[in-house]
């Protein structure tokens, strides 16, 4: 993990174009190749980022760039889409690197972990004809708890948390899913505004993937707060209320004999 605090400007070029004017920001370069650009606001959400697989390059500066006051310039290129993130550094205030080792991952509380297990076993609760593909679909910003597919071939990604990681990652979806639309579903015990923001962040990332896009969202929880429901529906995210007791009853009934 490399953390750089710098006076910088950032440009994103690809299917979408975006520009961050010069300002002091935190740049996080992770061991998996991803880069995140953070400001002092916006909660956990980066202003811009590039997810792996991507390549990093320090560009040679020409006279015009130097005259603009730029002391260093990075180019991060996505290996699949060729999208580029160019970071122009005017001043490097802090630069440090750390070996964080292997992270054990998030350990969910009992109810949250059980909800994930139950929903994987009872995936039809998301909708008739749904089938489980895999628990824990890994993204550059964290795992979505369950990836499933509905009767029409649409893929469904499900994230489960108490208020709103299990068995590996998917490097490639089955060939027939490449033509499908996809659904990202976040599941929490109690879902508030933060749950909608987190699901929105996953959707923004997943919709950058040409294999997955377009991706729609579903927010599932034991309880969805009114403000969260309003915000979710405004963003085109569906809401699903889970009955934990009924789900456990189904589990007990299935394992009596």
Residue ranges, the chain, pLDDT below 70: 105-110, 154-157, 159-184, 186, 250-257
Alpha helices in 84-192 (DSSP H): 110-121
Alpha helices, DSSP H only, in 59-154? 63-67, 110-121
Within a 10 A sphere around the Cβ of 30, how many other Cβ atoms?
16
Burial class of 156 by CB neighbour count within 10 A (0 to 12, 13 to 18, 19+): buried
The predicted structure's pLDDT at residue 104: 73
Task: Give me the pLDDT at residue 105, please.
Answer: 66
Q: Give the pLDDT score at 237.
A: 83
> Per the structure block, which two tokens stand in for 228?
């969260």
What does the pLDDT read at residue 215? Answer: 74
Dump pLDDT digits (tens) for 123-133. 888 888 887 87
The pLDDT assigned to 18 comes to: 92
Look at domain 110-254 and name its CATH class: alpha beta
Residue-level pLDDT at 255: 44
What tokens were used for 38? 């953070």
User: One fold for both 2-97 and 110-254?
Assistant: no
Pairing of strands 2-13, 182-191: unpaired
Domain-wise residue ranges, the chain: 2-97, 110-254
- Residue 60 tokens, joined: 């040679």
**Rounded Cα gap, residues 152 and 7, in angstroms:** 49
Q: Three-state DSSP class for 111? A: helix
- The reported pLDDT for the residue numbered 155 is 65
pLDDT digits (tens, 9 = 90+) for 193-244: 888 888 888 888 877 888 777 777 778 888 888 888 899 899 888 888 888 8
Task: Tell me which fold the domain 2-97 belongs to.
Answer: Protein Yojf; Chain: A; (2.70.180)
Whole-angstrom Cα distance, residue 252 to residue 173? 33
What is the per-residue pLDDT for 69? 97
Q: Phi/psi of residue 235, each to 5°? A: -95, 10
The answer, yes or no, to whether the previous bond of 214 is cis (omega within 30 of 0) is yes
User: Is the whole-model pTM more than 0.85?
Assistant: no
């Amino acid at each position: 993990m490399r953390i750089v605090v710098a006076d910088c400007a950032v440009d994103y070029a690809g299917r979408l174009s975006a520009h961050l004017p010069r300002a002091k920001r935190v740049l996080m370069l992770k061991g998996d190749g991803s880069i995140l650009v953070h400001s002092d606001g916006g909660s956990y959400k980066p202003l811009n980022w590039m997810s792996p697989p991507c390549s990093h390059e320090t560009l040679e500066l020409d006279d015009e760039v130097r005259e603009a006051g730029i002391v260093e310039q990075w180019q991060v290129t996505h290996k699949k889409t060729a999208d580029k993130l160019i970071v122009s550094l005017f001043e490097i205030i802090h630069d440090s690197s750390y070996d964080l080792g292997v992270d054990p991952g998030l350990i969910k509380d009992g109810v949250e972990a059980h909800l994930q297990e139950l929903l994987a076993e009872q995936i039809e609760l998301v909708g008739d004809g749904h089938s489980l593909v895999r628990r824990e679909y890994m993204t550059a910003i964290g795992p979505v708890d369950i990836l499933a597919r509905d009767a029409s071939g649409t893929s469904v990604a499900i994230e489960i948390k108490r208020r709103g990681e299990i068995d590996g990652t998917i490097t490639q979806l089955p060939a027939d899913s490449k033509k499908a639309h996809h659904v990202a579903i976040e599941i929490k015990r109690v879902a508030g505004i933060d749950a909608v923001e987190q699901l929105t962040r996953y959707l923004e990332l997943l919709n950058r993937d040409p294999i997955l896009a377009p991706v729609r969202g579903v927010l599932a929880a034991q309880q969805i707060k009114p403000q969260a429901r309003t915000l979710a529906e405004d963003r085109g995210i569906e809401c699903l209320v889970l009955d934990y007791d009924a789900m456990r009853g189904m589990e007990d009934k299935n394992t009596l004999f």
